[in-house]
Amino acid sequence: MKIILICLLSLTAMFADNTINMKKCEVLEISQYTRLFSCHKVDYLVEYKIEVDLRESDSIKKITIITPTSQQVIRGN
């Protein structure tokens, strides 16, 4: 989970200006399996798998980037 959060914050840094204050990020738990990471006009909707196979270390089902003008799935089923 920590690695995913670090990746999300890194992606935000790529799309944002270098002068942005990173303290403006928020995490909203929409449901037990869905969270919204909101940072500087870019939102990341992260959906988690309901059932996780013990052989898999990753529980993320889908990640969607949402901007004011578009949305794009960067990781899907």
- What does the domain layout of the chain look like in residue ranges? 2-75
Split at pLDDT 50, 70, 90, the class of 54 is: low
Tell me the per-residue pLDDT of 12-45, one tens digit each, with 9 for 90 and over: 666 655 445 556 788 999 998 999 999 878 899 9
Q: Is the pTM of this model over 0.75?
A: no
- Strand residue runs (E) in 1-77: 26-31, 34-39, 42-48, 60-66, 71-75
Spatial strand order of the sheet with 60-66 comes to 26-31, 34-39, 42-48, 60-66, 71-75
Residues 6+ apart with CB under 8 A from 44: 8, 11, 12, 36, 37, 38, 63, 64, 65, 66
Q: Bigger pLDDT: 45 or 52? A: 45
